[in-house]
């Protein structure tokens, strides 16, 4: 029995021993060698000589029987048998009927002249006249077109095998890579791979979180909804600006639901091969039905969901085929299969209408930038992981970061930690957060930027003009600080304000904002009698606001209550106003900005002494905070109205 087991074991080992496999590459090598050998043996071997040897030792001694010029390039020399000595005859006895010598020529005419010159002393009846022949080497001709094909096939086979090796058992698909082209490469999260993020990690998005939690609750407790006849939304679309937490919400949904979670990007469906995108969509939804109940998350869905029919070529391209397949799959779920599609985009205006209709993406959730309370909650989430000093307050940080999204708040916390580590501190204090906020708003501080004293003075007065206008205008935003430290690429200084948390702006508020923005340019003209290029960004903003007030918000009496927004729809309708109206808008915008400019100049002339005080101290300290303005100017007159 033992011997039989050993023999069986040895037999199995022999079976497991990999046998050498036949390779097409060896076949290509053999074919090339055959052609190469035929080309060699098909050519009669000759001895190469030069013209002088041929002329002196053969032609003039009368040993040449005949000459053959082949393809106007090569001369074959046939020697008389009686002229061959014994040794030479022995060497070439195998090919006495063929040429024994050969040499190359550059020009037929030149060769004939040389030959006539060499035979001028030889009697005419003994002179040799060359015969011309054209010969084709069929082996070379065949190789000229078959060899490139062999090389291409060999390279293709090499790449094919390399790709097969990468996509084998340790790779993504295994086997033939071209057979896996139509397979979806969505990442599946289930079981032990569960995501550790839950809804407690998502702060500042309470309304959106409630909407998503309903979907998760349906996956956990479907009977509660089914007994009432309710149907879960087939698709949930998360929209909003970049960095607001759409992908984070999807991760929290995956972590809370406890069901299989497929994650893929919209660009993963797009390939250069026709039909691959649609095949990957089919494969993804097939896997989803097999894992039901589950969630399929498609990030940046606008990559495949763009509106159809806007292509100038009017062709049904690969992207549209992929979108069509996605529409069919989303609307083709059987009722017993609980598969929810979750998608995210920051460009919902680009999506096709068929994708947004009820039955596909039933629920659209907008995730916007958080308000002051939302920012406070987001700061609290990120501050838990940091070592903080006693003076750090999440409420104060939230007030200093208006308009910040969740990603920007996370960046501020990280920059504050880096700043504290750079200073070798044991904890992160408010100074580090102030530096981090300045870093995010204005860019990197340029400590070594060369600025002349004259430029520094102009910058100081320019920023003072903004600050004074903001201090004495009723509807201006509250001032936080003024700095003349260069930051970023172009900013030589900046004034930081805390914008009000509001959605509607009155005409008076917009006028005060324009006057505050013009303050830097006006104070340069008022103090120095000259202007600089430092107001370029200010003028750009005021021009945009002026045209918006006149052409969009209907805040001009002559133009009237119209909103002339350029429309882009399926009819490609351009500007909805005439050239005369355009001239009227230009005239009214110019007139309006000049009126604001005159109002700003009148205000700054009134407070010129205060401008001198603030500018001088700003040049000395480089940064002034709100407390410094209160010390120099007194309390802001309109503080109670903010």
List residues with catalytic annotation.
Answer: 463
Alpha-carbon distances of 596 from 128, 305, 309, rounded to whole Å: 107, 46, 46
Q: In what order do the strands lie in the sheet with 101-104?
A: 47-48, 101-104, 74-79, 64-70, 131-133
DSSP lists the bridge partners of residue 494 as: 483
DSSP lists the bridge partners of residue 265 as: 299
> What gap in Å lies between CA 417 and CA 548, rounded to an integer?
41
Alpha-carbon distances of 364 from 333, 358, 540, rounded to whole Å: 20, 10, 35
Report the candidate in 320, 324, 262, 255 with the shortest Cα–Cα distance to residue 289.
262
Q: Quickly tell me which residue has 């053959």 as its tokens.
A: 68
The answer to whether 420 and 389 have CB atoms below 8 angstroms apart is no
> What gap in Å lies between CA 434 and CA 428, rounded to an integer?
11
> Using only C-alpha atoms, what is the Rg of the chain?
43
The answer to whether 436 and 275 have CB atoms below 8 angstroms apart is no
Each as own residue / partner, the long-range contacts of residues 334-339 (CB below 8 Å, 24 or more positions apart, any chain) are: 334/289, 337/289, 337/292, 337/293, 338/219, 338/222, 338/232, 338/292, 338/293, 338/294, 339/234, 339/285, 339/288, 339/289, 339/292, 339/293, 339/294, 339/295, 339/296
Which tokens is 450 given?
């060369």
Give φ, ψ of 463 to 5 degrees. Answer: -70, -30
Report the candidate in 483, 543, 492, 555 with the shortest Cα–Cα distance to residue 517.
543
The answer to whether 223 and 150 have CB atoms below 8 angstroms apart is no
> What gap in Å lies between CA 545 and CA 542, rounded to an integer?
5
> What gap in Å lies between CA 566 and CA 562, rounded to an integer?
12
Instruction: Give the three-class secondary structure for 485.
Output: coil
> What gap in Å lies between CA 193 and CA 44, rounded to an integer?
74
Alpha-carbon distances of 365 from 221, 239, 362, 600, rounded to whole Å: 22, 6, 10, 43
Q: Mark out the alpha helices in 423-489 (DSSP H runs).
A: 430-442, 453-472
Q: Which helix (H) or strand (E) holds 447?
A: none
Alpha-carbon distances of 530 from 176, 185, 523, 526, 612, rounded to whole Å: 73, 63, 10, 8, 17
Q: Which helix (H) or strand (E) holds 235?
A: strand 235-239
Alpha-carbon distances of 486 from 243, 381, 446, rounded to whole Å: 27, 32, 5
Burial of residue 532 (number of CB atoms within 10 Å: 0-12, 13-18, 19+):
middle
Give φ, ψ of 96 to 5 degrees. Answer: -65, -25
Tally of CB atoms within 10 A around 503: 4
Dihedral sign for Cα atoms in the order 635, 637, 640, 642 = negative
């Amino acid at each position: 029995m033992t011997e039989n087991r050993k023999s069986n074991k040895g037999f199995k080992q022999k079976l497991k021993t990999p046998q050498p496999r036949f390779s097409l590459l060896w076949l290509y090598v053999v074919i090339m060698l055959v052609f190469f050998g035929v080309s060699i043996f098909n050519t009669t071997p000759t001895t190469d000589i030069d013209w002088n040897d041929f002329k002196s030792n053969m032609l003039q001694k009368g040993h040449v029987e005949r000459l053959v010029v082949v393809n106007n390039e090569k001369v074959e020399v046939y020697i008389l048998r009686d002229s061959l000595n014994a040794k030479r005859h022995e060497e070439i006895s195998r090919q006495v009927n063929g040429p024994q010598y050969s040499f190359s020529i550059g020009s037929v005419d030149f060769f004939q002249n040389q030959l006539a010159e060499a035979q001028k002393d030889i009697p005419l009846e003994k002179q040799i006249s060359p015969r011309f022949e054209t010969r084709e080497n069929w082996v070379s001709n065949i190789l000229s077109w078959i060899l490139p094909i062999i090389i291409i096939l060999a390279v293709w086979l090499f790449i094919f095998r390399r790709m097969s090796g990468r996509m084998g058992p340790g790779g993504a698909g295994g086997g033939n890579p071209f057979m896996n082209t139509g397979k979806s490469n969505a990442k599946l999260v289930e079981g032990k791979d569960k995501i550790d993020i839950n809804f407690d990690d998502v702060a500042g998005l309470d309304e959106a979180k409630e909407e998503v939690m309903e979907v998760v609750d349906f996956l956990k407790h479907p009977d509660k909804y089914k007994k009432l006849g309710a149907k879960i939304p087939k698709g949930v679309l998360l929209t909003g600006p970049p960095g607001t937490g759409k992908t984070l919400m999807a991760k929290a949904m995956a972590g809370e639901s406890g069901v299989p979670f497929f994650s893929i990007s919209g660009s993963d469906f797009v390939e250069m091969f026709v039909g691959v995108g649609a095949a990957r969509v089919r494969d993804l939804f097939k896997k989803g039905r097999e894992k039901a109940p589950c969630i399929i998350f498609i990030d940046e869905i606008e990559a495949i969901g763009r509106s159809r029919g806007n292509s100038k070529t009017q062709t049904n391209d690969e992207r549209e085929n992929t979108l069509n397949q996605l529409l069919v799959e989303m609307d083709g779920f059987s009722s017993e299969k609980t598969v929810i599609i979750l998608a995210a985009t920051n460009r919902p205006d680009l999506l096709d209408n068929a994708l947004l209709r009820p039955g596909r993406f039933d629920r659209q959730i907008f995730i916007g930038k958080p308000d002051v309370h939302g920012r406070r909650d987001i700061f609290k989430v990120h501050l838990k992981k940091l070592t903080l000093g006693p003076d750090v307050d999440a409420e104060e940080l939230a007030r200093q970061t208006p308009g910040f999204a969740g990603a920007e708040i996370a960046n501020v916390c990280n920059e504050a930690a880096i700043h504290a580590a750079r200073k070798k501190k044991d904890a992160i204090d408010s100074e580090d957060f102030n530096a981090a906020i300045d870093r995010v708003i204005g860019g990197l501080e340029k400590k070594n930027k060369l600025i002349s004293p004259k430029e520094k003075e102009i910058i100081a007065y320019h920023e003072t003009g903004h600050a004074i206008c903001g201090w004495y205008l009723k509807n201006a935003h509250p001032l936080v600080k003024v700095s003349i430290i260069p930051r970023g690429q172009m900013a030589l200084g900046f004034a930081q304000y805390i914008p009000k948390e509001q959605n509607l702006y009155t005409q008076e508020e917009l006028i005060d904002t324009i006057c505050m923005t013009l303050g830097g340019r006006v104070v340069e003209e008022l103090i120095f009698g000259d202007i600089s290029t430092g107001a370029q960004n200010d003028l750009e903003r005021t021009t945009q606001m002026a045209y918006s007030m006149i052409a969009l918000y209907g805040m001009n009496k002559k133009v009237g209550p119209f909103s002339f927004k350029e429309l882009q729809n399926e009819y490609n309708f351009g500007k909805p106003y005439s050239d005369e109206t355009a001239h009227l808008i230009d005239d009214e915008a110019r007139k309006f900005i000049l009126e604001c400019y005159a109002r700003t100049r009148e205000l700054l002339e009134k407070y010129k002494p205060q401008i001198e005080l603030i500018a001088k101290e700003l040049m000395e300290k480089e940064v002034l905070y709100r407390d410094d303005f209160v010390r120099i100017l007194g309390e802001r007159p309109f503080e109670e109205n903010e």
